[in-house]
A = this chain, B = another copy of it.
Amino acid sequence: LPAGNEFDRVFVVLVAARNPLNIGAAARAMSNLGFAHLRVVNPYSVAFREARSAVGAAALLREAQEYRSAAEAVADCTLVVGTTVAEHRELQHPLRRLEYGARIIRRQMKSNRIGLLFGSEKRGLSNEDLSHCHWLMRIPTREEHGSMNLGQAVAVCLYELARDSRVAVQPEKVIRATGAEVERISMLLLETLRASGYLNPRAVTAADKARRLVRRLDLTKRDADVWLGMLRKILWKLRAGDDSAN
């Protein structure tokens, strides 16, 4: 297995998991494969408490952190990847097969924090959850029976990250923008588009769209600062223009 500190940059995020056996199974697979950081978003609290008895993973579950939204759970991550079994669903995101996506994650986890999102057993990730993802990763299941058990999906994804680590991969040394920075840029862009008249202020899906658009830029930390500065100035000027027009 690779050095522990790389896997320590991977955060497994279970969104709205309902079955304590699945939360426990996810934790157990994490512990088996060397991943320590579990985050749970809005779990049924009973399920979460019961899960704490998972074989061999009690310590990991004790340290698990609880969040009220996917946004909060990935705020400190610079790469956020959603997992899905969907192939045909109309997705707004790049969809990568696990084999290929894992390679990208392995490269980035040498210096960046990665959030790996898993949706609920019934419905997977919601569109709002997905809007926090840079891209999606698909486990190559059969079309006729794509829906995987949550604990097994976690095990397979983490195995792919952990497998054959001796194969040399170039470390990526670029520091990426954090989730919080991407969010700030998205919100500033949204305000700017509203102030410019590009967006109808009542357009309800605009925030998700802006977020996805900015995520896809996959900004470095340095460029994120530049974009923040530019957008602030543009927005200020747009508003100043409106004031003087009134």
| A residues at B contact (CB < 8 Å) | 1, 21, 25, 28-29, 31-34, 55-57, 94, 96-100, 102-103, 139-142, 145-149, 151-152, 155-156, 159-160, 162-165, 167-170, 172, 174, 189, 192-193, 195-198, 213, 216-220, 223, 226, 229-230, 233-234, 236-238, 240-242, 244-245
Contact = CB atoms under 8 A, between A and B. Distances in A.
A28 B242 CA distance: 60
Given A28-B148, A32-B152, 20 more contacts: A28-B152, A29-B149, A32-B142, A99-B165, A99-B167, A140-B162, A151-B151, A151-B152, A155-B156, A159-B160, A193-B234, A196-B237, A213-B223, A213-B226, A216-B223, A217-B217, A218-B218, A237-B241, A244-B244, A245-B245
B164 A99 contact: yes
Nearest to A237: B196
A245 B240 CA distance: 9
Contact of A240 (B165, B189, B241): B241
Copies of this chain: 2
20 contacts: A1-B142, A25-B151, A25-B152, A28-B148, A29-B148, A32-B147, A55-B147, A94-B174, A97-B164, A98-B163, A99-B165, A100-B169, A152-B155, A155-B156, A156-B159, A198-B230, A198-B234, A213-B223, A218-B218, A244-B245
A236 to B, nearest CB: 8
Nearest to A154: B152
Contacts of A97: 164, 167
Nearest to A157: B159
A234 B192 contact: yes
Nearest to A164: B99
A145 B241 contact: no
A215 to B, nearest CB: 11
A1 to B, nearest CB: 7
Contact of A156 (B156, B167, B244, B245): B156
Contacts of A139: 32, 159
